[in-house]
Amino acid sequence: MIILQFILPIFFGFYMIYKSIKVLDKIDRLKKNGIRKQARVIKIREEIGSQIDDNYGSSRTYYYTVNFKNKNGREIEKEIEFGLNKKPKRNPPFSISILYNINKNKDIDITFENSRRIILDGFLLLFIGLLFLGIVLYNYNGQINIILDFIKNILK
């Protein structure tokens, strides 16, 4: 019973914070070090997820596969990791602005040049994680030391 009331919300909260930091860090690195480029959207993949509340139906996320040439003239075709919730008004092929970066391991990170929605999603994940941790702290009045000791034992 303690797992459901105590440990599970803590892990979920930290997981959400971890995911948000990962997303926000990637966007920040691409904005600082990325190369702006016009790319052609050649394919759009639609992913359907279910909502908890059936009144809204199912949520849809659209993932763009883009094609562009890097600064060395090599043609790159890759799906953008971050999806959009809004259905595109145009059918492929069409042109969009992207930011991309190729790291030392030849991994390619791509995002939309205008990534405000992705940043907002990252902050939403951060808020949810902090909310879960806040709920745990509120429900376990004055027992922050138990949580900190638990985390220290996990990290050993």
CB 14 within 8 A of CB 48: no
pLDDT of residue 3: 55
pLDDT of residue 70: 85
Q: Number of helices (H) and strands (E) in the chain: give both, helices first.
A: 4, 5
pLDDT of residue 153: 77
Q: Identify the DSSP state of 142.
A: T
For 98, other C-beta atoms within 10 Å of its C-beta total 24
pLDDT of residue 66: 93
pLDDT of residue 5: 63
Mean pLDDT by 10 residues, the chain (156 residues): 66 87 86 88 85 57 90 87 82 87 82 79 85 76 65 72
Tell me which H or E stretch contains 106. none
